[in-house]
A and B are shown apart, each in its own frame.
Chain A
Amino acid sequence: MIPGAGFPFTGPAVELRDIRFAYRSGPTVLDIAALDVHAGERLFLHGPSGSGKTTLLGVLAGVLLPQTGTARVLGADLATLSGGDRDRFRAEHLGYVFQMFNLIPYLSVRDNITLPCRLSRARRARLRGASADSQAEHLAQRLELGSLLDKSVTTLSVGQQQRVAVARALIGSPELVICDEPTSALDADRRDRFLELLFASCEEAGSALVFVSHDLSLAPRFARTVELGALNRAA
């Protein structure tokens, strides 16, 4: 698949084979025989700290390159792409939600959400003519953020910030959304509502969802659960 082609990819979202990764001069952190994520699937990756989950997410996002093996994300073999191409690939096809501090402090909520479309023409093209602003408004409505669009992000609660991060991840309907422990900072009742909204929005966009967390109680809500401790032979 050619990055920047613009049309949604309908093959498997993720195909990892024989991945081995170590940081500069350290021990092997990832040793994974195979991992598949299907198009539109909701996958729960369960891993305590130290199981290599952040590193795995780095590989999935094209930020880290494994030393051996094939990492195919949305049909593209990431190892064959240059650093710049991987950045552009990520800009066009991926959405990422951090555990916390997701937002650029000097931009409004609206500007945070539309940022991917302003940084990447390919991402903007996925809107098919709709304006980034109108798409941002739509997502804000779905995520119960309607009245906050022009506010400064520093006035938002943690839950609101996480939802803004989801809106930003989903603008332009990327094929793959990666979430790194997005609910750890939320309290229990907010957590459920957050998941509901996340699932609904991903479904509407047709995005596959890879959700990493150490909280096993969330697993039942997902279509499939993978134990990172079992999957990663280096853990």
Chain B
Amino acid sequence: MMLLLSLAARSLRNRLFISALTVLSIALSVTLLVGIENVRAGVRESFSGTIRGTDLIVGARGGTTQVLLSTVFGMSTPSGAIPWEAYERWSTHPAVAWTIPYSLGDSHRGFRVIGTTASFFERYRFRDRKVEFAAGRAPAGEREVAIGSDVAARLGYSVGSPVTLAHGVAAVSFAEHEAHPFSVVGVISPTFTPIDRALYVTLDGLEAMHAAELADGGGLAMGPPGPARSAATTSSEPAITAFLVGTRNRFETLQLQRDMNEDLAFPLTAIIPGVALGQLWQTLGSAEAGLRVVSVLTVFIGLIGMCVALYASLESRRREMAILRAVGAGPRTIVSLLVLESGMLALLGALTGVALVYIGIAVGQGPVEARFGLSITARALGRTEWGYLALVVSAGTLVGVFPAWKAYRASLADGLSVKL
């Protein structure tokens, strides 16, 4: 057995270039297969971690997914607004333990500006952790802003830096609120969630900023007015875009949700984060299944490539087989040799593929996080991934049976006289 392993290894090394190419092709397909599984699990973990501590997310009338995406993940522009008195009514509801109001729609040089209250810094949990400060503190006054770590890094802000906020979410906005400059009072420690890419001001601060702009020259309004602003023009109370709810008792969440959705005075869209995420995943489900099918096919392609390479090598190895037979190796030894060769190639390919997954994660983690706000961390391989690897190695070994059989038949027919 040791002898066969040694022969197989040396034989592969003798055809180093082809062997390396074969290993690479299997490795790449394994990277795809295992990588997709890994990233998929990582993305789900990342998303659900962001909202695990919240029982309900409430927005103005709109689609469920839209509320989810816009409030927590900062994607897509929110629609509608919730009047303050409606919010107050719910925040004092007996079933509600805490609320965090959000006011969205403003931006600063491409990063979202979110108006909220102190309860955000006290109550919000992501992956069971609190929002903490690397420097400074939460905003309290009208001109104070706390920024996420990405914002600080990208724009070079620190505690004390002046910040001008713009209306709308364009990177360059025509309506700069120059009348109401803010100042950074805190930098939030990295969370690897969309928090890192946002700026946080108080609701008062946001309101004061909009009021100042109105007073300055409302004619500057280019494009559609933000929802919070248009609601503010009709009442003197601030309006918010959405709010998060923590209920006193988990069991009351469902009833509370129904009450909010069916409220006669001002119906809202209240969603249960886990359920909404589940629906989101289901939508993606068929895409994921498609991806998985593609990656399984690439594994097949890699294995077929290996089979082809082994087959092609047989012709030039007929003399080698004859020598082995002359020296006393039976046909079974020859079959074992070839099956071992393909098994070793598959094993090396699988290992290399996994290594590439981790290298890929290490290299791509930063850019993906910056671009999409997704944190892909290196995870240990799960049962599914080990299953895939075992399948690849066994399939690779089995694939070797085909050229091995051919070599067996040829060595019997050739005997000791190989007609070269």
Listed in ascending order, the chain A residues whose CB lies under 8 Å from chain B are: 54-55, 57-58, 61, 63-64, 83-84, 87-88, 90-92, 96, 98, 101-107, 115-116, 118-120, 123, 168, 180
Evaluate whether A119 and B326 lie within 8 angstroms (CB atoms) in the complex, with A57-B416, A58-B417, A106-B14 already known: no
Query: Which of the residues A84, A88, A90 comes within 8 Å of B326, measured between beta carbons?
Result: A90
Partner of B3 from the list A57, A87, A101, A118 (CB cut-off 8 Å) is A118
Binary flags per residue of B319-330, CB closer than 8 Å to A gives 1, else 0: 110111111111
CB pair A120 B323 closer than 8 Å: no
| CB within 8 Å of A: which B322-354 residues | 322-333
> Is there contact, CB below 8 Å, between B325 and A98?
no
Do A105 and B14 have beta carbons less than 8 Å apart? Answer: yes
Question: For residue B326, which residue of chain A has the nearest CB?
Answer: A96
Q: Which residues of B contact A105 (CB under 8 A)?
A: 14, 320
Given contacts A87-B328, A105-B320, A168-B327, contact A54 B10 (CB under 8 A): no
How distant is the Cα of A96 from the Cα of B325 in the complex, in angstroms?
10
Whether A87 and B329, one on each chain, are in contact in the complex, defined by CB atoms closer than 8 angstroms, is yes
> Which 3 A-B residue pairings sit nearest by Cβ, starting from the closest?
A91-B328, A106-B14, A87-B330
Contact B325 A63 (CB under 8 A): yes
Interface SS of B by simple majority: helix
Residues on B facing A (Cβ under 8 Å)? 3, 7, 10-11, 13-14, 319-320, 322-333, 415-417, 420
Among B3, B10, B420, chain A packs the most CB atoms within 10 A around the CB of B10
- Highest count of chain B CB atoms <10 Å: which of A64, A91, A92: A91
Name the one of A54, A106, A116 contacting B328, with C-beta atoms under 8 angstroms: A116
> A83–B415 Cα gap in the complex (Å)?
12
In the complex formed, the residue of B with least CB distance to A55 is B417
Asked if B420 and A87 make an inter-chain contact with CB atoms under 8 angstroms apart, the answer reads no
Kindly state the separation between the CA atoms of A55 and B332 in the bound complex, as whole angstroms.
Answer: 23
A104:B323 contact, CB within 8 angstroms: yes
Q: Determine whether the beta carbon of A106 is less than 8 Å from that of B333.
A: no
In the complex, what distance in Å separates the CA atom of A119 from the CA atom of B417? 21
A118 to chain B: which residues have CB within 8 Å?
3
Least Cβ–Cβ distance between B320 and chain A, in angstroms: 6
List B contacts of A120 (CB < 8 A): 328
The verdict on A101 contacting B328 (CB below 8 Å), with A106-B13, A107-B10 known, is no
* 11 pairs from A and B in contact (CB 8 Å cutoff): A54-B417, A61-B416, A63-B325, A83-B330, A84-B330, A87-B325, A90-B328, A101-B420, A104-B324, A105-B14, A106-B11
Specify which chain A residues have a CB less than 8 angstroms from the CB of B323 in the assembled complex.
Answer: 98, 101-104
> What residues of B have a CB within 8 angstroms of the CB of A91 in the complex?
327-329
Most central of A88, A92, A118 by chain B CB within 10 Å? A118
CB neighbours (8 Å) of A180 from chain B are: 416
Give Cα distance in the complex from A119 to B328, angstroms. Answer: 7
Cross-chain contact B328 with A64 (CB below 8 angstroms): no
User: How far, in angstroms, from A116 to B3 measured CA to CA in the complex?
Assistant: 11
Inter-chain contacts of B326 with A (CB < 8 A): 61, 90, 96, 98
Give the distance to chain B from A103, nearest Cβ to Cβ, in Å. 7
Residues A119 and B325 in contact in the complex (CB < 8 Å), given A61-B416, A106-B13: no
Contact A115 to B13, CB < 8 A, known contacts A54-B417, A58-B417? no
The 8 Å CB contact of A119, one of B3, B10, B14, B416, is: B3
Q: What's the minimum C-beta distance from B31 to chain A, rounded to whole angstroms?
A: 29
Q: Which residues of B contact A98 (CB under 8 A)?
A: 322-323, 326, 416
Do the beta carbons of A58 and B415 come within 8 Å of each other?
yes
A16 to B330 Cα, complex, angstroms: 24
**Apart from the given pairs A54-B416, A83-B330, A106-B11, 15 other A-B contacts in the complex at a CB distance below 8 Å:** A55-B417, A57-B417, A84-B332, A87-B331, A88-B328, A96-B416, A98-B323, A98-B416, A102-B323, A105-B320, A106-B14, A115-B327, A118-B3, A119-B327, A119-B333
Q: Hey, which chain A residues are within 8 Å of B332, CB to CB?
A: 84
Task: Give Cα A84–Cα B331 distance, bound, in whole angstroms.
Answer: 8
Q: Which residue of B lies closest to A85 (CB)?
A: B330
Give the nearest-CB partner of B319 in chain A: A101
Known: A54-B417, A107-B10. A123 touches B320 (CB 8 A): no
B379 to chain A, nearest CB (A): 40
Interchain CB contact under 8 A, B420 and A92? no
Q: Inside 8 A of B328's CB, which chain A residues have their CB?
A: 87-88, 90-92, 116, 119-120, 123
Q: Are B415 and A64 in contact (CB under 8 A)?
A: yes
Specify which chain B residues have a CB less than 8 angstroms from the CB of A116 in the assembled complex. Answer: 327-328
Q: Are B415 and A63 in contact (CB under 8 A)?
A: yes
CB distance from B149 to the nearest CB of A (A): 55
What residues of chain B lie closer than 8 Å to A102, measured between beta carbons?
Answer: 323
CB distance from A64 to the nearest CB of B (A): 6
Q: A101-B319, A104-B320, A106-B10 are in contact. Are A119 and B329 (CB under 8 A)?
A: yes
Q: Which residues of B contact A64 (CB under 8 A)?
A: 415
Given the complex of chains A and B, what is the CA–CA distance between A201 and B375 in angstroms? 72
Bound together, the chains give a CA A116 to CA B323 distance in angstroms of: 10
Q: How many Å lie between the Cα of A115 and that of B320 in the bound state? A: 13
Q: How far is the CA of A199 from the CA of B417 in the complex (A)?
A: 24
